[in-house]
Amino acid sequence: MRQTDYDLVIIGGGPAGLTAGIYAARARMNVVLYEKAAPGGQVIVSDWIENYPGFPDGISGYELGEKMLNQAKNLGLNIEIEDVTSIQVDGEIKTVNLAKKSVTTKTVIIASGASPKKLNIGESQFMGKGVSFCATCDGPFFRDKTVVAVGGGDTAVQESIFLTKFVKKLYLIHRRGELRATKILQERAHKNDKIEIIWDSVVSGMDGLFAVENVKVKNVKTGEEKDIKAQGCFIWIGITPNTAFVGDILNMDDGGFIYTNGNMETSVPGIFAAGDVRTTPLKQIVTAVGDAAIAVMSAEHYIENLQD
Ligand SMILES: Cc1cc2nc3c(=O)[nH]c(=O)nc-3n(C[C@H](O)[C@H](O)[C@H](O)COP(=O)(O)OP(=O)(O)OC[C@H]3O[C@@H](n4cnc5c(N)ncnc54)[C@H](O)[C@@H]3O)c2cc1C
């Protein structure tokens, strides 16, 4: 086959991408990792990780991300800060397009993860003015204030508990009658005096002159709407995949998550996906890093089987 710039291009520098980088660097593959923002991915905005093995007392998300990055760098992984804008497939040759250049490669691992879902009730105008997706980044700005948090899964509950280090009061708005979060987190939330859960409810609007002053909460069963005087609104209602750059070259589900098989192979030979970007049933660090290791093994096998 024609020469390519790389054996493997990894897209995304979160846990999946960095793990793929670690495995590929150790396999001495000709590899580059492109990350459009800060390496570490969603992990670096997570306050505290206590379900990733190897850290008996837990570890801050930022520190875990930094350790993964340093491990990859120490093994010689080439990491470039670049936004991947599209991929073209010409048989066995894949072209990865960046803002100012294009590179060719035999294989691609898409590990571009996901971004927080928005409520779409007009919160965009209050971004950085009370609305946040990151307790670690913005929690200290809400010292002794009242805030609303939205969601009922692990992230919403864990990050809400973290916020109570700063805030005077936190209303956790959940659209169902019980939380989805792991039992241990539920127990901690119920015991926390600063957290009040408002069940069967959604945030229906927010207002304020220059920043959030008031959050509207609607009961989905009764339709009753009430105002909560709050200076912040933290949103943790799930994630959407970062797959806009993939276009329609791969099979994806209705939400834009990439379909793979157990070998992390996508619908296009030579393109693999790992971590939160794929249709995995559990979107966690431990699953993302496992996917990535398998994806590199599959990429190596794919290259070995290419015709000379
Ligand atoms: C607040 C919060 C708390 C969490 N707590 C936990 C926890 O306690 N335990 C746990 O196991 N999991 C937790 N998670 C989930 C965990 O962080 C994710 O499952 C994990 O980060 C997924 O890793 P990933 O590499 O697949 O994707 P991501 O971490 O999303 O990384 C993807 C990377 O790809 C980059 N990227 C995207 N598009 C492009 C592009 N076009 N070009 C180049 N780069 C691109 C992004 O900038 C990002 O850095 C938490 C998540 C959040 C948000």
Distance from C-alpha of 18 to C-alpha of 302, rounded to nearest angstrom: 20
Side chain identity, residue 97: N
pLDDT tens per residue across span 15-28 = 999 999 999 999 99
Mutate to test the pocket of ligand 1, among 60, 68, 112 (most ligand atoms within 8 A of CB): 112
Q: What torsion do the CA atoms of 44, 47, 52, 54 make, to the nearest 10 degrees?
A: 90
pLDDT value for 306:
92
State pTM to two decimals: 0.92
User: Quick one: pLDDT at residue 137?
Assistant: 84
Measured from the CB, is residue 137 less than 6 Å from ligand 1? no
How large is the average pLDDT for residues 229-247?
97
Confidence of residue 308 (pLDDT cuts 50, 70, 90): low
In angstroms, the CA 239 to CA 255 distance is 10
Report the separation in Å between the CA atom of 304 and the middle of ligand 1, taken as the mean of its atom positions.
30
pLDDT in tens, 137-183: 899 999 999 999 999 999 999 999 999 999 999 999 999 999 999 99
Query: Would you say the CB of residue 68 lies under 6 angstroms from ligand 1?
Result: no
Residue 51 Cβ inside 6 Å of ligand 1? The answer reads: yes
Domain at 123-235, CATH homologous superfamily: FAD/NAD(P)-binding domain (3.50.50.60)
The pLDDT assigned to 46 comes to: 86
Read off the pLDDT band of 83 (50, 70, 90). very high
The CB of 138 under 6 Å from ligand 1? The reply is no
Instruction: Supply φ then ψ for residue 34, to 5 degrees.
Output: -105, 125
The residues of the chain that CATH labels 3.50.50.60 are 6-116+239-304, 123-235
Asked whether the beta carbons of 24 and 10 are under 8 A apart, the reply is yes
Q: Which of 44, 285, 294 is the pocket-test mutation for ligand 1 (most atoms within 8 Å of CB)?
A: 285
Architecture in CATH for domain 6-116+239-304: 3-Layer(bba) Sandwich (3.50)
- Measured distance CA(248)–CA(120) in Å, rounded: 25
Rounded to whole angstroms, how far apart are CA atoms 262 and 224? 46
pLDDT of residue 47: 85
